[in-house]
Structure 1
Amino acid sequence: MLSHSSYMLTAVAALLVTCHALCKCPGIPELPSVPGLPGKDGLKGQPHLPDSLDAELHNVLVNLKHRLSRLEGVLALNGKIREVGDKILASNGKEVDFASALESCEEAGGTLATPMNEEENNAILGIVKQYNRYAYLGIKEGENSGQFKYINGAPLNYTKWHQYEPNGKGTEKCVEMYTDGSWNDKKCDLYCLTICEF
């Protein structure tokens, strides 16, 4: 499984190659036309980079990885993000309804925080406690009353329901985390803290 940093580096590399092929980027020298990559000539043949360009991109990626690592460290130090396993968690501090929270996370390239185990639940809880606000989780009730799933449709493999929860019986389709880390089913139009995972 690729780490978050690997995904980011892959995305940055793709962006750099596309940027160089499609446009002139300010401050970045123009790369030579490479067969197989998008550019003036379109896609022709198989993607292949000359050895000199491959080495140059490798150096750029190493530098970007170093800078991303430093930025992640600064954000973690300032309490702006929390890392747990391969996930990075962050909040914008806003309280909105479920749909708006999910949209904010997706626009930022992530999704709503979704605890898959106790360690992830505790990391999300750290942000909940930091803001002292209940937060939506990336979990919703399915078609069958009382059957909750991750928002990607997968069945739950971990739960932390508060005592006597879920109890909405089909009327409370979203899930929030309390400030003790336990979960409650809740109506989706009420306001909760937005916490995203990347």
Structure 2
Amino acid sequence: MTLLQPSNALVLWLSLLMVPSSVNMDKPEEKTYSCPVIQCSAPAVIGLPGRDGRDGPKGEKGEPGEELRGPPGFPGKVGPPGLKGDLGPQGEKGEKGERGIVVADDLQRKVTALETKIQVLETELNRYKQALILKKIKSIGRKIFVSTGKEDTFANGKSLCEKAGSVLASPRNEAENTAIKDLMAPSKQAYMGISDEQTEGRFMYLNGGAVTYSNWKDGEPNNLKNEDCAVIQDSGKWNDVNCLSSNVLIICEFSS
């Protein structure tokens, strides 16, 4: 038996609907069973999707959307320092602080202790000065002149004083000149820290400074025999001599 095609089944079903008009209505109604065409027919087949439609007309411009702030980004590199700004207005004066009693008292105690030590040292120094005066020493102001008791050349005398931390005596005023003169006996002359070895005819102190006080004999200095060094004589007057003279006393000068 061949199955009915869907179109033939539909025709058969329509014919059956027209049959009751010729059937005897007196007969008891018999129950007939039928099935919907859709259920009895073969299952439908899904077709291929259709083509996309054309784009519609452009709509009207919408309202601007609400602006949303995004999360903060990572901090960037530190930029170069800016120019120094103007000085701001002076602030109000603060309240007076408490006095540092502890610190001030401690500092005062230290100062007092130092002052006491200085007084002790000064007393000891004066005592030594008095003892040295009994020897070939003279103290004038802040200077101390010490006679070595030795006669030598200018160069050796300068070296001797330097080793003792001093220089050849150089009087800067009449009082110092007298003090040096009084140390000379029994010698007749003593070297001074004055010469014109650097510039002929221009006597200067050994440190290069210009001579500020002098007591030359009449007609001196005369550079008679290549005389570049200066001596003080037992009269207190000055004279120029040859620096190689070895019968000249060495007197050193200390600054106190």
TM-score (norm 2): 0.53
| Alpha-carbon offset, residue 94 of structure 1 | 0.6
Distance 2:159 2:110 in 1: 38
Distance 1:54 1:175 in 2: 47
Partner residue, 1:145: 200
Please tell me whether residue 86 in structure 1 is matched to residue 150 in structure 2: no
Instruction: Compare relative contact order (CA 8 Å, sep 6+) and give the higher one, 1 or 2.
Output: 1
Partner residue, 1:108: 164
Gaps of 5+ in 2: 1-106
Alpha-carbon contact 2:189-2:231 (below 8 Å) kept: yes
Please tell me whether residue 175 in structure 1 is matched to residue 230 in structure 2: yes
Q: Which amino acid aligns with 1:75?
A: L
| Alpha-carbon offset, residue 59 of structure 1 | 3.6
Q: Which amino acid aligns with 2:233?
A: Y
Alpha-carbon contact 1:146-1:169 (below 8 Å) kept: no
1:64-89 Cα deviation digits (max 9, x unpaired) = 2211111101111x143111122111
TM-score (norm 1): 0.67
Please show how residues 179-194 of structure 1 align to structure 2 within 5 Å. Answer: 179-191=234-246, 192-194=248-250
Please tell me whether residue 164 in structure 1 is matched to residue 164 in structure 2: no
Q: Which amino acid aligns with 1:162?
A: K
Partner residue, 2:125: 68
Distance 2:137 2:129 in 1: 8
| Alpha-carbon offset, residue 57 of structure 1 | 4.8
Gaps of 5+ in 1: 1-49
| Alpha-carbon offset, residue 173 of structure 1 | 1.0
Computing the radius of gyration from Cα coordinates, the structure with the larger value is 2
Please show how residues 41-52 of structure 1 align to structure 2 within 5 Å. Answer: none
| Alpha-carbon offset, residue 132 of structure 1 | 2.7
Given the superposition, is the C-alpha separation of residues 111 and 151 from structure 1 closer, same or farther in structure 2, using an over 3 Å criterion? same
Percent of residue pairs identical: 37
Partner residue, 2:9: none
Distance 1:91 1:121 in 2: 14
Given the superposition, is the C-alpha separation of residues 85 and 57 from structure 1 closer, same or farther in structure 2, using an over 3 Å criterion? closer
- Give secondary structure in 2 for the equivalent of 1:109: coil
RMSD: 2.2
Distance 1:67 1:195 in 2: 24
